[in-house]
């Protein structure tokens, strides 16, 4: 059982020469020649057919078949050259295969070392050599695919991964590698997703496959699926690279956008915030939070978020455009115009910004500028119903009713169920005196868009003017809920309650209007009226005085303050205000009557000067109720 191929190859030529020397001199040359040939033959057979000389030496020492030593038993096995038994030049197929596998494993180990050290080209060579010795090794074929993928040779990588799976379809690494390669190519995400899911099915605990699955699903627009991958417990504490974190953040932003559309604002803000923890310099997340705050009526918070988005990305016309809309909602039209103008400096063909700036110009009465902006919007986007609607408003504000109606109808031809345009047709009908037609249009607009502030306000105001006060209160209550930043709606709701004798309820609505617009003289005057009607004369006087500070020729404020002074016992101040009121409106019968009464009182009683407010004073001596006009 000793492997003596090497020993035989060395000793036999020596023995042969020694024997040849024993022949007579005449035959010695021939014998030595034969011995030399025999020795060379045995050397060739014994040494050069051996493929691993170091192992031959090891076999000679260790004498163990477990070290790859061939099994020999007979004497003839040790000396095949001497006995002419036919020395086997080739080993048996089993022995050759075993030796080839040993070499293949050694080369594969060298390839793994090269791969781990980042020498992917050398790794490919070693893996290829290994496969040349032993091709039926799917793990080595898969490893070569990994090396090709690291070198971005994706076609070669895919070929190796597919070959691996043909040999063994249960190798998760091959499915993952194939999915990774397909994703990296950029246009084969469906196939990438298929193989990555298969890899996860074979090996559930596979972070790399989960991460790339999230990326591939996000790139094909399946953000929900992407988030299921990213939010797997397996990735909860994973150290994701920056690019992956940004894709994860974008998927969160997309889910948040859908949550906003479905009215789930709390969940949306949570997802936007989570996106910012992954990617702190993510302007789209700040913009999303801002849009959500607008829906919640948190306009100042929205402006703060738009500011952060624009700080990160100054050239961001979409955010500028939306920021301008917030300023419009706050009634800050000059600020809105400036922001829209900034957006248009960046993108001179931004039709929506032209349209929005046109609306702001309408609000400040710059109708010529508004017309130019709406025409620019229509030049860039010919089928733009909102621009036609805005242009109709410009003509309506200038009382060009036929031009206004023409543009509203163009808007409706492009979008028949356009509630804003339907509402505006109602305004034209109301202006023309068609009460029923106006109510019909406002009602249709509300049915299409129940929270449409303009339609609710217009119908409520029309009901209020026609003394249909219960309906007016219903519509105006809905209007202030739809837009809690409109001072006029709160003031009109206060008027409606005052008209039905509920002055105490009216006062908080006037206060809301004044809080929104501190210069709202009409709201101050009407709150004064409501306070006077509940006999809070000094409170009323303070409101009338504030109204006069904002409008120094405010006839009704002077007249009503004069009456309040008279009711509070300050007849001297009452006379001054009523006299001023008559100067502003000569011959006003109510002022003339009030002054006559004061003269009568002065002749019959001594004037009284009250220095302290009298909240429980007697009813007005003039017998006047304070209207809310």
Report how far residue 217's alpha carbon sits from residue 198's, in angstroms, rounded to the nearest whole number.
15
Average pLDDT over residues 336-356: 97
Least confident residue range of 369-373, 493-497, 568-572, 621-625: 621-625
Could you identify the residue written with the tokens 């030399």? 36
Residue 612 has pLDDT above 70, yes or no: no
Average pLDDT over residues 122-140: 91
Residue 30: predicted pLDDT: 64
- Give the model's confidence band at 232: pLDDT under 50 very low, under 70 low, under 90 confident, else very high: confident
- Residues whose CB is less than 8 angstroms from the CB of residue 549 and which lie 6 or more positions away in sequence, other chains included: none
Could you identify the residue written with the tokens 């192992």? 55
Residue 98: predicted pLDDT: 83
Higher pLDDT, 351 or 28: 351
Handedness of CA 113, 117, 120, 122 (dihedral sign): negative
Residue 617: predicted pLDDT: 38
CA 478 to chain centre: 31
Phi, psi for residue 62 in degrees, rounded to 5: -80, -35
- Residues whose CB is less than 8 angstroms from the CB of residue 489 and which lie 6 or more positions away in sequence, other chains included: 453, 457, 460, 476, 479, 480, 483
Least confident residue range of 17-21, 55-59, 363-367, 613-617: 613-617
Report how far residue 455's alpha carbon sits from residue 449's, in angstroms, rounded to the nearest whole number.
9
Residue 51 has pLDDT above 50, yes or no: no
Residue 475 has pLDDT above 70, yes or no: yes
CA distances in angstroms from 555 to 560, 579, 583, listed in the order given: 9, 11, 9
| Number of alpha carbons in the 13 Å side-chain half-sphere of residue 338 | 5
Residue 510 has pLDDT above 90, yes or no: yes
Could you identify the residue written with the tokens 């063994």? 168
Least confident residue range of 73-87, 395-409, 411-425: 73-87
Report how far residue 616's alpha carbon sits from residue 605's, in angstroms, rounded to the nearest whole number.
21
CA 523 to chain centre: 42
Higher pLDDT, 70 or 470: 470
206, 219, 140, 216: which is closest to 182 by C-alpha? Answer: 216
Q: How many CB atoms lie within 10 A of CB 554?
A: 21
The per-residue pLDDT for range 166-177, each reduced to its tens digit, is 999 999 999 999
Residue 147: predicted pLDDT: 94
The per-residue pLDDT for range 178-220, each reduced to its tens digit, is 988 998 888 788 899 999 989 989 988 888 888 888 888 888 8
Read off the pTM. Answer: 0.65
Residue 598: predicted pLDDT: 87
Report how far residue 299's alpha carbon sits from residue 613's, in angstroms, rounded to the nearest whole number.
39
Helix (H, G, I), strand (E, B) or coil at 419: helix
The answer to whether the beta carbons of residues 527 and 498 sit under 8 Å apart is: no
The answer to whether the beta carbons of residues 456 and 446 sit under 8 Å apart is: yes
Higher pLDDT, 492 or 200: 492
The per-residue pLDDT for range 259-298, each reduced to its tens digit, is 998 899 999 999 999 999 999 999 999 999 999 999 998 9
Domains of the chain: 5-91 (no CATH), 95-164 (1.25.40.10), 484-604 (1.25.40.10)
Kindly report each contact of residues 103-111 with a partner whose C-beta sits within 8 Å and lies 24 or more positions away, as own/partner. 103/130, 103/133, 103/134, 104/130, 104/131, 104/133, 104/134, 104/137, 104/140, 105/130, 105/134, 107/133, 108/137, 108/140, 108/143, 111/140, 111/143, 111/144, 111/147
The per-residue pLDDT for range 22-49, each reduced to its tens digit, is 656 555 566 666 666 666 655 555 554 4
Average pLDDT over residues 311-332: 95
């Amino acid at each position: 059982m000793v492997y003596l191929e090497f020993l035989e190859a060395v000793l036999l030529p020596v023995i042969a020469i020694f024997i040849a020397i024993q022949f007579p001199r005449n035959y010695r040359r021939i014998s030595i020649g034969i011995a030399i040939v025999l020795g060379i033959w045995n050397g060739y057979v014994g040494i050069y057919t051996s493929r691993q000389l170091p192992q031959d030496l090891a076999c000679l020492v260790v004498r163990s078949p477990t070290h790859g030593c061939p099994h020999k038993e007979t004497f003839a096995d040790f000396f095949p050259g001497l006995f002419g038994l036919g020395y086997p030049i080739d080993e048996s197929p089993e022995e050759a295969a075993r030796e080839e596998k040993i070499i293949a494993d050694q080369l594969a180990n060298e390839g793994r070392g090269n791969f781990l050290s980042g020498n992917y080209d050398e790794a490919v060579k070693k893996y290829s050599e290994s496969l040349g010795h032993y091709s039926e090794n799917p793990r080595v074929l898969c490893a070569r695919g990994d090396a090709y993928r690291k070198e971005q040779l994706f076609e070669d990588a895919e070929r190796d991964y597919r070959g691996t799976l043909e040999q063994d379809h249960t190798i998760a690494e091959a499915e993952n590698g194939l999915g990774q390669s397909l994703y990296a190519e950029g246009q084969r995400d469906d196939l990438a997703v298929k193989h990555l899911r298969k890899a996860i099915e074979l090996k559930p605990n596979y972070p790399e496959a989960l991460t790339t699955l999230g990326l591939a699903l996000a790139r094909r627009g399946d953000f929900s699926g992407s988030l299921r991958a990213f939010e797997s417990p397996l990735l909860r504490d994973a150290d994701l690279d920056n690019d992956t974190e940004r894709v994860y953040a974008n998927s969160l932003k997309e889910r948040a956008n859908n949550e906003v559309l479905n009215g789930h604002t709390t969940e949306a803000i949570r997802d936007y915030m989570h996106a910012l923890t992954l990617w702190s310099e993510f302007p789209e997340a700040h913009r999303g939070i801002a849009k959500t705050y607008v829906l919640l009526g948190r306009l100042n918070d929205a402006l703060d978020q738009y500011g952060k988005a624009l700080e990160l990305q100054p050239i961001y016309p979409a955010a500028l455009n939306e920021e301008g809309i917030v300023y419009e909602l706050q009634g800050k039209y000059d600020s809105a115009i400036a922001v829209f103008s900034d957006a248009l400096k960046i993108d001179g063909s931004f039709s929506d910004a032209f349209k929005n700036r046109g609306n702001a110009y309408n609000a400040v009465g710059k109708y010529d500028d508004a017309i130019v902006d709406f025409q620019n919007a229509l030049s860039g986007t010919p089928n733009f119903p909102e621009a036609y609607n805005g242009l109709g408003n410009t003509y309506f504000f200038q009382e060009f009713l036929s031009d206004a109606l023409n543009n509203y109808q163009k808007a409706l031809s492009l979008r028949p169920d356009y509630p804003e345009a339907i509402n505006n047709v109602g305004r034209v009908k109301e202006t023309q005196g068609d009460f029923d037609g106006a109510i019909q249009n406002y009602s249709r607009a509300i049915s299409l868009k129940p929270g449409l502030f303009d339609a609710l306000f217009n119908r409520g105001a029309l009901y209020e003017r026609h003394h249909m006060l219960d309906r007016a209160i219903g519509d105006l209550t809905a209007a202030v809920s739809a837009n809690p930043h409109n001072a006029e709606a709160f003031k009109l709701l206060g008027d409606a309650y005052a008209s039905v004798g509920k002055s105490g309820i009216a006062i908080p609505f006037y206060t809301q209007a004044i809080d929104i617009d501190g210069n709202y003289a009409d709201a101050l005057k009407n709150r004064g009226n409501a306070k006077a009607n509940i006999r809070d004369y000094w409170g009323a006087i303070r409101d009338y005085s504030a109204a006069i500070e904002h409008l120094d020729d405010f006839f009704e404020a002077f007249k009503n303050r004069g009456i309040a002074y008279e009711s509070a016992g300050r007849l001297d101040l009452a006379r001054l205000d009523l006299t001023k009121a008559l100067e502003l409106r000569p011959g006003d019968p109510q002022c003339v009557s009030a002054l006559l009464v004061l003269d009568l009182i002065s002749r019959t009683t001594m004037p009284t000067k009250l220095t302290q407010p009298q909240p429980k004073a007697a009813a007005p001596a003039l017998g006047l109720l304070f209207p809310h006009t």
